[in-house]
Amino acid sequence: MNRFGWLYFPARLAWRQLVFDRTKLVAAICGVLFACVLVFMQLGFKDTLYASAASAPLKLDGDLFLMHKQSEAMWRPIQFKRSELMRVLGNPAVAEAYPLYLGLAPLKNIQTQAKRTLMVYGFDPDSLMFNVDSARNKHIELRLKDTVLFDEYSRPEFGPVRQLLEAGRNMTEINDYKVTIIGLFQLGVSFAADGNVVTSDLNFMRIFPRRNLDDIDMGMIRLNPGASVEHVQAELKSYLNEFVNVFTYEELLRHEKDYWANTAPIGFIFGFGTVMGWVVGLVIVYQILFTDIANHRNEFATLKAMGYEQGYFVRVVFASASFLAVLGFIPGYLLSLGLYNLAESQMYMPMPMLISKVITVFMFILSMCFMAGLLAIRKLKDADPADMF
């Protein structure tokens, strides 16, 4: 006991101070719980945002990708000439190069006839550009006129498409153009689009009559086996026009995430909300610790007169902060777990509670309580034995 007495006795005093006033303890725990839930939710939404932003690039089966430098993200592309993509075929390390066409358009619900916007992907079906089994298995059918595949992970406002297809109802409209849904695939919604459709490049032009095959949104490049991605990337950058970005697979994912983190305001909102949760919890815990010290000022002064050093009282305050962090974090984590499940069911986007996130939030809450304790320690100076005796 003596070995750990420097920590045990201050912790025991801190615990007894906290449980002495149960109402105030509950208020403090609620404050920490609120901050914990707020931080969990903000981080969860931010992770979901980044995961959804990368969902489409993750399905592209290529080594290098061309995008216009003014394209902020895949859902907000700037077109460039197809001839620029074809120039890469002059590099002996390049095996294949295919264009990708992107566009937002309203799809008509087969049942209700209501329209809702989704993302349309147009590409050469024989390129097997999308690493999605359904799209690859039906690449021959996608060559047919006015055929599309629908993302069954789209929001339910588009209707029960799977059940309708099983009932033989597969005709609908995209951008007021009649199409036939020949099957389903799995991609997932994002903050940019509530659903997705893939089709051939020729069908894409029929859905978007003002577009033409010469103006593309992205280019996908496959290299010969054994070719160095970084080396070929440097070579392409040296002779392609300066308005074209040449991304590796990892750089494309980073580009999509960076848009939401740094360009779109929603990334700032989630980060700001996390900071505000920390500040609100800090204020609440500080008020509790400060009041505790103020209410027991005479007792602290008595202990000082008995020979207890300042370090002992500092450990008492930090022990109280640690207890509040743990007591608030546990119910906050359990409540956040339920809210994550609720959010997933409403957003139709994954919101996993990863162990790394749990540890991050706990350290975040612990730092918040420790900072509150650090600020409240100043009140210990008022506990002067000379003022009491």
Q: What would the pLDDT profile of 228-260 be if each residue is shown by its tens digit?
A: 999 999 999 998 988 999 999 999 988 888 888
**If you average pLDDT over residues 271-279, what whole number do you get?**
82
Which has the closest alpha carbon to 30: 288, 364, 322? 288
184 part of a folded domain: yes
Between 31 and 145, residue with greater pLDDT: 145
Q: Give Cβ neighbours of residue 252 (< 8 Å, ≥ 6 apart).
A: 57, 60, 65, 67
Q: Clarify whether residues 34 and 102 are in a common domain.
A: no
**Most confident region among 72-76, 229-233, 262-266, 343-347 by mean pLDDT:** 229-233
- pLDDT score recorded for residue 48: 84
Q: Clarify whether residues 302 and 334 are in a common domain.
A: yes
254 part of a folded domain: no
247 part of a folded domain: no
Residue where the block lists tokens 């906050």: 332
DSSP-derived pairing of the beta strands 115-123 and 196-200: parallel
Q: Is the pLDDT of residue 1 over 50?
A: no
**Domain total for the chain?**
2
Domain final residue pick, 183, 208, 242: 242
Q: Clarify whether residues 97 and 207 are in a common domain.
A: yes
Q: Clarify whether residues 22 and 126 are in a common domain.
A: no
Q: What is the domain extent for residue 345?
A: 3-53+266-387
Q: How many Å apart are CA 194 and CA 178, to the nearest integer?
A: 20
117 part of a folded domain: yes
Q: Clarify whether residues 213 and 97 are in a common domain.
A: yes
Domain final residue pick, 242, 258, 284: 242
Q: Clarify whether residues 122 and 231 are in a common domain.
A: yes
Q: Is the pLDDT of residue 365 over 60?
A: yes
192 part of a folded domain: yes
Domain final residue pick, 175, 210, 242: 242
Q: Clarify whether residues 286 and 313 are in a common domain.
A: yes
251 part of a folded domain: no
**If you average pLDDT over residues 382-388, what whole number do you get?**
53
Q: Give Cβ neighbours of residue 247 (< 8 Å, ≥ 6 apart).
A: 64, 65, 66, 67, 255
Q: Is the pLDDT of residue 387 over 70?
A: no
Q: What would the pLDDT profile of 141-182 be if each residue is shown by its tens digit?
A: 999 999 999 999 898 899 999 999 999 999 999 999 999 999
